[in-house]
Each structure stands twice: as structure tokens, then as C-alpha cells.
Structure 1
Amino acid sequence: MPTYQAPLRDFQFILDEMLNIYEQQHLEGFEQVDADLVDAIFQGMADFATKIMLPLNSSGDAQGCKIEDGQVTTPQGFQQAYKQFVEDGWATLTCDPEYGGQGLPEVVGTFVTEIQAATNMAFAMYPGLTHGAYSAIHAHGSAKLKRKYLPKLVSGEWTGTMNLTESHAGTDLALLRTKAEPCGEDVFAISGEKIFISSGDHDLAENIIHLVLARLPGAPSGVKGISLFAVPKFWVNEDGSLGENTGVQASALEHKMGIHGNSTCVMVFDGAKGELVGEAHQGLRAMFTMMNQARLGVGMQGLAQSDISYQNALAYAQDRLQGRALSGVQQPKLVADPILVHGDVRRMLLAQKSFNEGARALVGQQALWIDQAERHQDKALRQQASLLAALFTPVVKGFITDQGFKACVDAQQVFGGHGYVHEWGMEQFVRDARIAMIYEGTNGVQALDLVGRKIMGDQGAALMTWAEQAKQFIEESRTEPQMEKYSQTLIKNLGDLEKATQYLAKHAPSKPDVLGSASMAYMQLLGITSLTLMWARMAKLALRALASQTQEHDFYQSKLKTADFYMSYWAIQTRGLVVQIESSAEQICEYDAALF
């Protein structure tokens, strides 16, 4: 069975030294946050995840979920694990204290999520989607709706889902057909079928609150006519007790590649009773609160699966004896050298390690921007943080899950044939990680959202704000000669990003399809450049720590050497991406469809 060690020291490094979260007392909810509390939370989740969640990962994958007469049962052990998860208070961490939450910062909760997603991605999806439902109702629901649903969602006694996709309406929600008919005071009858609904039905909680997109009578066509409804599995009476089934049922389980321990359902709403969340015809606005929350979580899933894959690939490479190093025998007392001596194995492992640690820093920065956008006392800084968080949402979701999946494949490759069989667990990581590139908006859609809405939509204002911060970092580093090579690499990456942006700005007005054909390369370009900044910042901290004769020499030396590898392996790829955009984007658009 795979093993896992939560990267607690890396969490400390990012939160304390890089993001300085313990100096953010001007943010609501940060006043009582200190290193001892946060470290205790991380250690507690690490213990729970490695002892409870990880052992259920393989068995849950093998058993999967089952359905009988519309009732879904989860794999053996999931019920007991979820019961303990709720009793230990893990569902409440970042929720509003008014409804029973602990009010901790998103940046803390995000790293707790990494531990969960690494050890059992399928299980972690149940509370993860619940938190998304909580966020949507908290942001858009009426006071009555909040009182009715939030306390139980916060505690984890009830779980939540989001229901968007229909068989004919995936990315294009304008085609959505599910209907909502008024059937009483503030009550609506929801009718339709949704597919691919994660955690759609299960035996973990006494009630499930489905957030469902549907159309009211006379609603405008297209996305402007979509409303959002809260449809509980069992109706919640005025006194808080549960009534009868509202008319919603799982009709089938999807047979899928991975995340077998999560119940991905076909949901049928047969006049199911629900309540409006937010304003009529403003459903997408409310649902996107949940989806943007979910996209950060999905990005973390890509990182988490990459990290546990890397940890096990590294352990295997250190133990597996095959062949001899090209430079000569390294372990003469053994029948062969560990495969860690071989150049391509080292390349794959270093690519994973440098990606994982850089991506973790970016996800931490993204979570802090979200906290600042919601909690900062300065309105201008709130707006700036919101702008940056919106810009990087598709990058965190799309770029990190793309590269995270590739890292899982590399980790599997380190095992050779052993990575292809079930026993070692590597093939499960590959299968589970694959969905993160698809759900919550496919990565192609994320890339198009990035270039279309986030770059061209505001004439590059958000991108320029971020680029100015990167340039300010470069300027502040001029007094430290050892930072020169990192700064120069960052300058080159920013230049490549500017060239690609100028290309899109020049060609998109006359050839809008160029945005689509260039979008994936552009997202990768911004992703790599953003990690270059993360690694430059981490290298600066490592240099200072090493200069101070730190007792943690190996930790900081590893950071510095990994930064060097990132600059020489990942960062240099931006030039090729610019060339790819400039040379092929128009060809892709102009290729005759009849010639495919």
C-alpha cells in the first residue's frame, strides 16, 4: 500500500516565511491565528488522514459505491470514517462562527484539504462539495435559508452537491432544460435529470442538500434565464426535523475511470421541492461562488495526487536495484545500484518535486488572495486581491491539474511495470488524478476563460497588476547579488508572457478563434511564469536562511537546489510556448474541417 507523509515543514515555510500569515492581523479571522494553532491543526489532520483515510483509499477504489432502489452505499469503512471526521470538527474549520464554524482563514483550510486529497481523493470530495454548497448559500441565500441549512452543512451532519450538467448540456449551460415550477409560498417543484453529480447520493449523512440549476416559467433563454435552487433529499420542516423525500433520487451510478469511492450519480428530480437561492435568473452568479471555491479545491487535488505519487516514486527509486550508474558503480556491496542513480529517473523525480513545491506556494498565495478579498480592512486592497484571485483561478485549476496528472504518470513510470499493476497503487493515482482535468470546467474551458475573460476582458489590467508585483520583487532583489540569476530568468519569462499577450491582443479582434487555439499554451505560459516567481521568492528566503547559519541547512539547501532545477528545466519552456502560439494559433483556426 502506498505511504504518505504530510509536507508539514513545507506548509510552515510557505505560510510563515513566504506569505507571512501570522502578520496579517488586519484581516478578520487572523487575529487569533498563530503558528502553534496552525501546526496543531495540520498535525491533527495528518494523523487522521494517514490512519483513517489512506487505508480506505485502495479498498474504496476496489469496492466502489453500490446502488439499490435509488439508495447509494459507500465502500466499507467510509461511514465510520466520515462519522469521526464530523465528530472531530474537521468540517467546520473555515466556516462562519455564526453557524457553528471556526472561522479560520482559507489559506489554512486549503493546506488541510491537500492532506485529505492526497490520502483519499474520493472520500475528500464528500466534505469538499459540502463546503462549496455552504459557500454558495452563505453568499447568496436569504437569512431564512441560511438558518435552515447552514448549521447542519457546517457541522457536516448534512452534505451538499452541485447539479449543473445534463446529458445535452455540459459546458454550454444555455442548453439546460431542468424546470422549476412555483408550487407554494417560496417553494418550487424541480423537474429534470442531471448527470455526473459527485456525492449525489450516499449513506454518510442524514440529509443531502442539492444545489440545482433550473429554469423558471417565462425565464429568458440562454444563461440569463437560469436560477439556482436548494433541493434537500428530505424536506426540512420549520422545527428543523426531516420530512419525506422531496422527489429527488439517484437513478444510476456512473461507471468511471477513477475516484470509485465517490458516488458519481445520475440524479432525477421528479417535481422535487426546492427553494430559490439568491435572485431569480441569477443562478449562475450564485453557482459560480461554489464553482470558484471548487476550482481551488480541484487544483489542490492535482497537486495532492502529484505529491503522494512523488513520495512513493522517490521511495521506490531509493530501494529498487537495477543496473549501474553510467559514471560507474555507486553501491559496490549491492548486486546493482538503486535506480535513483539513473539520469532519466532523476529527471522525472526532480520535475515532480520542483513542480509540487512551486505549485503549493502558488495555491497558498491564491488562498491568501481569497482571504484578503473577503477580509481585508482596506477596500482598495480587497479589490486588488479579488482581481488577482480571479485571474489565477483558471491557472490553479487548469495548469496545476494538467501538470499534476503528468507528474502522476511520471511517478508511475519510475516504477516501470510495477507501476502498471494494482499492488503498488500508482495506477490508482493516475486514474484518480485524471478527473481533475475534466470536472469543474474542463481545462480547455479554463484556458479560454483565462485569455477571453481574464486577459482580454479587462484589457490585461489584472495581469499588469500581477506583473508589476513581480517587477517590484525583482527591483527589491537587486541588492542581493546571488538573486541575479533568478531575477534574470523571471525577467525573461515576463517578457515571453508579454509577447504572447501582445500577439493575442493584435490578432483576436479580427480572428477571435485565435483565443481558443492559443489558450492552452498561454495558460501553461502564465502557469510556468507564476511558479518562476514563487521559486524566486523561495530561493531568496533560502539564501538568507543559509547565510544565517540555520540549523535546518538541508531543508534550505534543498529549496535552493530545487529552485535552480526549476529555472533550468521548467522556466526555460516559456520561449517555446511563445513560438508555438505565434506559429500555430492561426493555422489551427484556418485548417479546413473537411480535412480532419
Structure 2
Amino acid sequence: MPEYKAPLRDLRFVRNELLNYAEHYANLPNGQDATPDMVDAIMEEGAKFCEQMLSPLNRIGDEQGCTRNDDGSVKTPDGFKEAYKQFVEGGWASLENTTEYGGQGLPISLGVVLREMMGQANWSWAMYPGLSHGAMNTLEAHGTDEQKQTYLTKLISGEWTGTMCLTEAHCGTDLGMLRTKAEPQDDGSYTINGTKIFISSGEHDMSENIVHIVLARLPDAPEGVKGISLFIVPRQLPEGEGVSAENNGVTCGSLEHKMGIHGNSTCVMNFDNAKGFLVGTANKGLNCMFTFMNTARIGTGLQGIAHGETAFQGALRYARERVQGRSLNGPKNPDAPADSLMVHPDIRRMLLTIKAFTEGNRAMAYFAAKLADLTHESNDEETRKQAELQLGFLTPIVKAFFTETGFECANLGLQCLGGHGYIAEWGMEQNVRDSRISMIYEGTTGIQALDLLGRKVLMSQGESLRCFTKIIHKFCQAHAENEQLQEFIEPLKAINKEWGEITMGIGMKAMKNREEVGAASVDYLMFSGYAALAYFWADMARVAHEKLAEGTSEAGFYKAKIQTAKFFYERLLPRAYAHKTCVESGADTLLSMNEADFGDV
């Protein structure tokens, strides 16, 4: 199993040198305590927890998995419960939550650092507190004062954990078809009956109680998504300072048998006359749930970075140590029986691809995290509005592009090890299996693509796109005379222009045939991901050139940034134009064949 090392140097580069987080925090109402020294201490201690506690449990979780007992309770893998206890005692659960309900009140973006490192060290374990984070956000935004005092305080302390319960066996993304019922009771509560599937962290032994956030339908609810309500349904009802000894009609019917993330309990959850409590307004549950889902989508984007980082660390370590073959230009190490794998261009192609995606995606993620801070904390209404617009635009890209490229990175990492990559002891095949779900849950790549193109871009008449392309335009203007950046500026200007033209072309076609949106959406999202990444790599190259010009003892680090930027522009950015060609091919290539002509099965 590869030894995990938190990428603190690159995190500091992105946060401190590229995005100037120190100034950002200084201007946030809740950022005064997030001084550079405090932030550095949190990152260092978080890294230790992830390296020393979580990483050693990663393979254990994969091999042991979770076990369902006869009474419906679930035992997590050895060490998971103890790690969670240490997580809570260390105050990590409450890092970014409101002080009113027991949190430390630090910026959201600081919590993102911890979640990235936890995901890299052990994604299965990280999902348990990760789901709680979404439940907290939902209750903070939509819960009553009583609900916050009862449930939010316990979630923030880490004593209780949370889940989101959406999917049912007959309906995945189409939540308008859900059948779980909520019957109003005289005491103001509701009786919940139904079954949910694919519930991550649905049942486990790591916390005293589990708070399920459940979508259900009231008796008089309208059909479709307009008739969905949201409910708090605890596994055990609150009682005094603790919980009732009796189960609240919430049980794990079975554990899903999965391709990966074995250490996380993915459950079929049965709600049998369970007592629930309405969150927000009746029949407006989907609006409330989007608070949870958007949090989860950004968190899932971090999963793409996590698997890329894991792949890079394992593949780089192996490529340096493994000797096999000779350089085509002659032996690089004539005293050894063979050269290291690092001499081979194809190994470098794979390593650089992983590096370019992982570090580029990280830059975009922390740009988005700054926007999340502003949407929650800025005192200026216009600043909040612009941040919400930009974050809404970036969220489907972060979720889908990061996970698509993260899965590619996981596969390339395995490939670097050859046959050894396919063997469990090296950890690379687990990384591939664990990463595969990321493109599916919280909305598949196709769903994210429809959200980006249909909802975010076309429905805003391009306003959300322009808010980002303006950033690129201004960057290109500011550095038009910078000779060191010309190899990036010209292609960046070109793809930024293409972005607007492609969008307009789809919009024109869609006026005649709405299917053009669905036909173009995934390729449009991938084009958008490459275009956005081109901006971040150009900006990282700018910083690297400036640092080298100032004089630095880390010349190798900054030269590697510039070289990786060049690799991205010459080897990966051209992929965007293949996606452009696919977009322009239109819907006919997908829809002209009759269903029956696909063949017999």
C-alpha cells in the first residue's frame, strides 16, 4: 500500500501564492481568526491525522468492509470507530460551523483543506463526516431554531452523524417518482414509511446517533418534483442530553455489494412508521435538499483530486525505484542492470497527465472554495451575488470534470506499475475501484452536464459563463506584453473566444430542437473543464515565473509548474477541440437510429 504524504507544499502554493488566501481571510467577517499561523498549524495537524491515523486504515477498510448484524446494526472496519473518536476529540468536526451552535466559525475553505487530505488518505472513512457536513448545511439553512438546537448542535460536535436519503429502487435521478410517504400526526410530527437505497454511511457504529435527511411525499402532495417534502428522521429520537434506547423505526435492510469504497456502509434503509420532522416548507423539499446536494457535489469533486493525488504518489514512487529497460538514447545508469522507469517517455506522459489534472483541478477547487466563503460570509450584497453566480457555474464542472479526470488519473497510476498495479498490495487497483463511483453519485456526469449547459448557461442567457470568461479576458489583457507567458496567452485567448461561440451555436440549434442541449451537454462540460483549467495553469505559470525572477531556493518546484503548464497546453488542451467537434456534430448522430435498430438482447 503506498504511503500517503499530505501535499502541503502544493496546497500552500495554491492558497498562499496563487490565490492569496491571507488577504481573502483578512476581508472576511469570520476570517479574522484564520491568521497565517493558525491556518498553517491546522494544516500541519490535519496532515498528521490523515497520514498517521486514516491512511493506515485504507486497505483494512477495503479488505474487511462493513458487516451487517442480525439486528440491522452495522460494524465498520477495524480502527474506523477509534479514528472517528479521535477526529471528534481533535475538534475537526466543528471547524467551519457557526459558533452559535457550537462550531469554531472558521471559513468554509479551511474545511475544504481537511476534506481533501482526508479523502486522499482514506476516502471510505472520509465519507462518514462528509455526509454530516451536508446535513449540517441543510439544517443551518432551512431548519427551525428548535431543530438546530436539537440536531445541528449534535452534528457539529460530531456526537451524531448525518446522511442524505434520496434514491429509491424504481427512481434514481428522477426524484419526482419517489414513493416514500409522510403522514402528518397530531403532535406536528410525521410518520415516514418507505425504502431508500444507495445510502452512504446509512448505518454504522461510529456515532451515538444518525440523523437522516429524507425526501418523502405528503398525502395531498402534487405529482412530480413539486410534491416533495424534506424531513429529519433520526435513527433514535432525542431524549434529554442523549437518545432513546429504542430504535425510531429506521433500520438497515441490507448492505450493498459494491465495486469499491468497501469501508463505507452503503445501505438499503427501511423507514417503518418512523417519526420525522418537516424541514422548511411542505412540497418544497427539493429546494432545501439542493443545499445538501450542492455541498456534496463540491465534496465529490474533491474525490477526483484525491484519487489523482493517490495515483501520483504511488506511481511516482514506483517509477523512481523500479528499474526496467534502457533509455533509447543509451543507458542513464550504466552501473545498474537497467534504468529506472523514469527514463521512458510514456511513463512521463502518464505521470505528467496525472500531475497536470490533479494540480490544475486543485487550483480550481480552491478558487471555488473562496467563492463559497463569499456566498456565506460577505457583507456586500453584490459580492455575494457575483460569487453565487460564479460558484453555481463552476459546481457542475468541479463535480463532473474533476471526477472524470480523477478516474483517468487513477487508471494511469495503475498503468505506471504495469502488472504490479493490478495486484492489491500496491493499493493502485483499490484506488481505481474507489474512484469509479465518483462519476455516478450526487448526479452523474450527464446530469451535471445538463445542469451546466441547460440550467446554468442557457437559462441565464450566458450570464454565468460570461462571469468566468471575463476573468480570463482580463488576465489575457493584463499579460498581453509578458513575453514569458505568450505561449499560454494566445491559446488561452483563442479557447476563451471559442467557448462563447460554441455556447451561442448550441443555443441557436436548441431554439429549433431542444434535444440539441442533451446531445451537446457532456462534450460541452468537458470542453469547459479544459478551458477553465487552461486559465488556472496559465496563472500558475505566471506565479512560478515571478518567483523565479525574485530568486528562490525552490527553483525546481517552480520550474516544474512551468513545465507542467506547457505539457497541459500542448498535450491535454487539444482534447478540448475534439469535444468541440462532437458538440458541433449535433443531435442527429445520436437520435436518428430507431430504438429497435440497436439490436436484439
* Same fold flag (TM > 0.5): yes
Find the counterpart in structure 2 of residue 266 from structure 1.
268
Instruction: Report 1:30-429 matches (<5 A).
Output: 30-68=31-69, 69-237=71-239, 241-242=243-244, 244-429=246-431
**1:586 to partner: Cα distance:** 3.1
CA offsets 1:52-85 (integer angstroms, 9 cap, x no match):
1111100110000000121111011111111111
Q: Distance in 2 between matches of 1:324 and 1:580?
A: 40
Q: Which is further off, 42-51 or 549-558?
A: 549-558
Find the counterpart in structure 2 of residue 444 from structure 1.
446
C-alpha change, 1:476 and 1:193, in structure 2 (3 Å) is same
In structure 2, what residue type is equivalent to 1:26? N
**1:241 to partner: Cα distance:** 4.4
In structure 1, what residue type is equivalent to 2:250? V
Secondary structure, aligned partner of 2:348: helix
Q: Distance in 2 between matches of 1:62 and 1:401?
A: 24
In structure 2, what residue type is equivalent to 1:6? A
CA contact (8 A) 2:230 2:285 kept: yes
Secondary structure, aligned partner of 2:210: strand
Secondary structure, aligned partner of 2:254: strand
CA contact (8 A) 1:489 1:571 kept: no
**1:35 to partner: Cα distance:** 1.6
In structure 1, what residue type is equivalent to 2:368? Q
**1:27 to partner: Cα distance:** 1.6
In structure 2, what residue type is equivalent to 1:33? A
**1:496 to partner: Cα distance:** 2.4
CA offsets 1:134-163 (integer angstroms, 9 cap, x no match):
100000000110001111100111000000
Secondary structure, aligned partner of 2:246: strand
Q: Distance in 2 between matches of 1:410 and 1:190?
A: 46
**1:561 to partner: Cα distance:** 1.1
In structure 2, what residue type is equivalent to 1:58? R
Q: Distance in 2 between matches of 1:593 and 1:466?
A: 40
Q: Distance in 1 between matches of 2:547 and 2:82?
A: 44
C-alpha change, 1:548 and 1:270, in structure 2 (3 Å) is same
Instruction: Report 1:408-487 matches (<5 A).
Output: 408-487=410-489
Secondary structure, aligned partner of 1:228: strand
Secondary structure, aligned partner of 2:185: strand
CA contact (8 A) 1:94 1:103 kept: yes
Q: Distance in 2 between matches of 1:277 and 1:488?
A: 51
Instruction: Report 1:481-520 matches (<5 A).
Output: 481-520=483-522
In structure 1, what residue type is equivalent to 2:284? Q
In structure 2, what residue type is equivalent to 1:53? L
Find the counterpart in structure 2 of residue 19 from structure 1.
19
Secondary structure, aligned partner of 1:244: coil
Q: Distance in 2 between matches of 1:254 and 1:572?
A: 40
In structure 2, what residue type is equivalent to 1:208? I
Q: Distance in 2 between matches of 1:491 and 1:134?
A: 41
**1:584 to partner: Cα distance:** 4.9
In structure 2, what residue type is equivalent to 1:504? I
**1:20 to partner: Cα distance:** 1.3
Q: Can you give the 5+ residue segments of structure 2 that lack an aligned partner in the other structure?
A: none
CA offsets 1:479-529 (integer angstroms, 9 cap, x no match):
422122211121121122123212211111211111112111111100011
**1:215 to partner: Cα distance:** 0.5
In structure 1, what residue type is equivalent to 2:303? Q
In structure 1, what residue type is equivalent to 2:54? M
**1:239 to partner: Cα distance:** 5.6
Q: Distance in 2 between matches of 1:259 and 1:576?
A: 33
Q: Distance in 1 between matches of 2:577 and 2:197?
A: 41
In structure 1, what residue type is equivalent to 2:360? G
Secondary structure, aligned partner of 1:307: helix
CA contact (8 A) 1:148 1:240 kept: no
CA offsets 1:147-203 (integer angstroms, 9 cap, x no match):
011111001110000000000110000100000001232211000000000000000
Q: Can you give the 5+ residue segments of structure 1 that lack an aligned partner in the other structure?
A: none
Find the counterpart in structure 2 of residue 556 from structure 1.
558
Q: Distance in 2 between matches of 1:450 and 1:590?
A: 25
C-alpha change, 1:330 and 1:128, in structure 2 (3 Å) is same
**1:242 to partner: Cα distance:** 3.2
Find the counterpart in structure 2 of residue 9 from structure 1.
9
In structure 2, what residue type is equivalent to 1:65? C
C-alpha change, 1:343 and 1:584, in structure 2 (3 Å) is farther
Secondary structure, aligned partner of 1:321: coil
CA offsets 1:200-223 (integer angstroms, 9 cap, x no match):
000001100000000111011100
Find the counterpart in structure 2 of residue 28 from structure 1.
29
In structure 2, what residue type is equivalent to 1:464? R
**Equivalent of residue 582 in structure 1, options 581, 584, 594:** 584
CA contact (8 A) 2:119 2:126 kept: yes
Secondary structure, aligned partner of 2:220: coil
CA contact (8 A) 1:22 1:30 kept: no
Q: Distance in 2 between matches of 1:443 and 1:58?
A: 28
Secondary structure, aligned partner of 2:219: coil
Q: Distance in 2 between matches of 1:285 and 1:416?
A: 47
CA contact (8 A) 1:455 1:461 kept: yes
In structure 2, what residue type is equivalent to 1:295? R
Percent of aligned positions that are identical: 47
Q: Distance in 1 between matches of 2:187 and 2:137?
A: 25
Q: Distance in 2 between matches of 1:27 and 1:529?
A: 30
CA contact (8 A) 1:350 1:565 kept: yes
Q: Distance in 2 between matches of 1:233 and 1:184?
A: 21
CA contact (8 A) 1:253 1:264 kept: yes
CA offsets 1:563-589 (integer angstroms, 9 cap, x no match):
111111122222222112112543113
Q: Distance in 1 between matches of 2:88 and 2:240?
A: 24
TM-score, L = length of structure 2? 0.98
C-alpha change, 1:276 and 1:561, in structure 2 (3 Å) is same
In structure 2, what residue type is equivalent to 1:31? Q
